[in-house]
Structure 1
């Protein structure tokens, strides 16, 4: 089981701690950005890059499989 521990320091200096149980279908990632819009754009770009990389890897694997089949 995984937990997210969040610490918040109030302007008075008092620190509050929250513990959240992470569900099986959840993931968390910390991203540095100036705004929500920038985070959404960074996420969109990362998904696009991952998709292109997956496609390229699939094409490479298919080409290798075809070369093996041709050499038989």
Structure 2
């Protein structure tokens, strides 16, 4: 199944813009909610460990 990233931005006048990007065959999109860059880095580190352990 093809993945698409749909981003909606609102400019300073309040006008919304939508941008659609199709994932290439060798990439996937994942949305992660985090309160900070550090929290995101911790999430990514844990995911990396999960891949190592599951091998």
Partner of 2:7: 6
Larger Cα-atom Rg:
1
Choose between structure 1 and 2 for higher RCO, CA contacts under 8 A separated by at least 6 residues. Answer: 2
Q: Give the aligned length.
A: 54
Partner of 1:44: 45
In structure 2, distance between residues paired with 1:10 and 1:21: 23
Bigger helix fraction: 1
Which aligned segments of 4 or more residues in structure 1 are displaced greater than 6 angstroms?
none
Partner of 2:17: 16
TM-score, normalised relative to structure 2: 0.70
TM-score, normalised relative to structure 1: 0.58
User: What's the Cα RMSD here?
Assistant: 1.9
Q: What are the ranges of 5 or more consecutive residues in structure 1 without an aligned counterpart? A: 56-72
In structure 2, distance between residues paired with 1:50 and 1:2: 22
